[in-house]
Chains A and B, each alone.
Chain A
Amino acid sequence: EPEVTQTPSHQVTQMGQEVILRCVPISNHLYFYWYRQILGQKVEFLVSFYNNEISEKSEIFDDQFSVERPDGSNFTLKIRSTKLEDSAMYFCASSESGRRGKETQYFGPGTRLLVL
């Protein structure tokens, strides 16, 4: 069964460093998402991406964050200058289409980011 994959599974970085989290969505899917879960809190939406551009972004997704689909298979989240509060589990998800919240989103296993 097709699945969303994410690398790395864990990343430790120093505050102020740049990190790139990578995802390979399901191959025929057109919509891509990043979510994150800070320990003990809810899973929260960061950004959605369709047709090579951002469809929607949350207040969390400020200028320090960017997303890219560089080669037709990978989908990346870059954090330019990490802060302690960026420590979280980051999930990538994809969906076949975007039927106004009704489409199943398939999640990857997450990347646990720890900023020291």
Chain B
Amino acid sequence: ILNVEQSPQSLHVQEGDSTNFTCSFPSSNFYALHWYRWETAKSPEALFVMTLNGDEKKKGRISATLNTKEGYSYLYIKGSQPEDSATYLCARGGATNKLIFGTGTLLAVQP
């Protein structure tokens, strides 16, 4: 069984703060790491798919890094805005196409 863990479980920040959270996963037989942003009552939105050790990806104020040797990925949000409030999910992709998800980090950005 492949265990994907995320921390913290929840995070409250003020508008304008920068923040980051962690996804950890077993490093053996690594194929890909996916990040999703999920707002209540909406579809989880794909942010990044990361495959190579040292990968850094960016989408607006959100960026992510990947370390496959030690089995972790960081997601960063620069200058958080209230509209960034959501649950951020990471998922490990393996040899088959199924995704194995972490528990998510719930981010609340207060104006």
Contacts and interface: CB of A to CB of B under 8 A. Distances in A.
A31 interface: yes
Interface residues of A, number: 28
Interface stretch (A12-20, A43-51, A69-77, A78-86): A43-51
A21 B20 CA distance: 36
Given A44-B101, A48-B98, A100-B97, A91 B32 contact: no
Contacts of A55: 96-97
A105 B99 contact: yes
A65 interface: no
Interface in A23-48: 31, 33, 35, 41-45, 48
Nearest to A109: B43
A16 B31 CA distance: 40
Contacts of A44: 101
Interface string B25-60: 000000110101000011110100101000000000
Contacts of B36: 107
Interface stretch (B11-19, B64-72, B74-82, B87-95): B87-95
A12 B19 CA distance: 39
Contacts of B89: 43
B49 A58 contact: no
A31 B95 CA distance: 15
Interface of A: 3-4, 31, 33, 35, 41-45, 48, 55-56, 58, 91, 95, 98, 100-110
Interface of B: 4, 31-32, 34, 36, 41-44, 46, 49, 51, 89, 91-104
- 3 tightest A-B contacts by CB? A101-B93, A101-B31, A45-B98
